[in-house]
Structure 1
């Protein structure tokens, strides 16, 4: 049975925070919720998740937004995807990626893309992306300021 993926509205951002903190542990819950709701959502960031039981944290979440570029045209960009450790191994991230592909098609996007960190701890995620037919399309360079 496929898990149900639901949109996580602004008034319920807190259910997504524990899974996102696995990906971004430098943020405490309050700061992360504030950033999502005051900076990311106003710029088109949406959250979806698998919430096993109402009132409990989402087991798996995905944050995404639409982008437009000369390279890809209109695309759905997966900003964040994370599963709580106790819920891993159930195929939830795979279901999220399938959902994202359908949503991208529904929104008439030309592409679906994401960035993923590098390192041995990311091997499982990279295997999943490759299995879902994602390919390394470019090198993403970052220059931090300050």
Structure 2
């Protein structure tokens, strides 16, 4: 039986933090919960997760928001996708992306898109995106302000 993707509402955000810290280790767990619930969620950020067992901690999570742009029209933007190391290689990332694509269709979106970091540590993630027919559509530039 395939695991189910379930919403992670405010008040349950802590269940996603261990997986999210795989991407954002600079945040203390309590700080990350605070940022997500007080700053990100009010701006449309939503979380879903997969549990691999009876643990209170999600094995894999996906954070996303719906947005509208002149480039893509209505779209679902995957902000975060992460799986705990012990659960990698079991298809959870694939299930989360399939769920995101289905949710995007339900919401009338024209596209699903995401940004991914560079480097060999993201090679497995990049293979997943390519396998699901995501293409590199642009370069993302950033300037950090002092």
Q: TM-score, normalised by structure 1?
A: 0.98
> How far does residue 54 in structure 1 lie from its aligned partner after superposition?
4.8
> How far does residue 53 in structure 1 lie from its aligned partner after superposition?
4.0
**Secondary structure, counterpart of 1:12 in structure 2:** coil
**Residue in 2 that maps onto 1:110:** 110
> How far does residue 52 in structure 1 lie from its aligned partner after superposition?
3.0
Structure that is richer in helix per residue: 1
Q: CA separation of 1:111/1:12 partners in 2, compared to 1, >3 Å: closer, same or farther?
A: same
Moved more, 71-80 or 55-64: 55-64
**Secondary structure, counterpart of 1:22 in structure 2:** coil
Distance in 2 of aligned mates of 1:19 and 1:138: 27
**Residue in 2 that maps onto 1:45:** 45
| Preserved CA contact (<8 Å) 2:52 2:87 | no
Q: Which runs of 5 or more residues in structure 2 are unaligned?
A: none
Q: CA separation of 1:89/1:78 partners in 2, compared to 1, >3 Å: closer, same or farther?
A: same
**Residue in 2 that maps onto 1:76:** 76
Structure-to-structure mapping, 1:10-89, within 5 angstroms: 10-54=10-54, 56-89=56-89
* CA RMSD across the alignment: 0.9
**Residue in 1 that maps onto 2:9:** 9
Cα deviation digits, residues 92-132 of structure 1 (max 9, x gap): 00000000000000000011000000001110000000000
| Preserved CA contact (<8 Å) 2:49 2:59 | yes
**Residue in 1 that maps onto 2:139:** 139
Structure-to-structure mapping, 1:113-128, within 5 angstroms: 113-128=113-128
| Preserved CA contact (<8 Å) 2:19 2:58 | yes
Distance in 1 of aligned mates of 2:35 and 2:71: 28
Aligned residues: 146
Q: Which runs of 5 or more residues in structure 1 are unaligned?
A: none
Distance in 1 of aligned mates of 2:106 and 2:2: 20
What stretches of structure 1 move > 4 A for 4+ residues in a row?
A: none
Distance in 1 of aligned mates of 2:7 and 2:18: 16
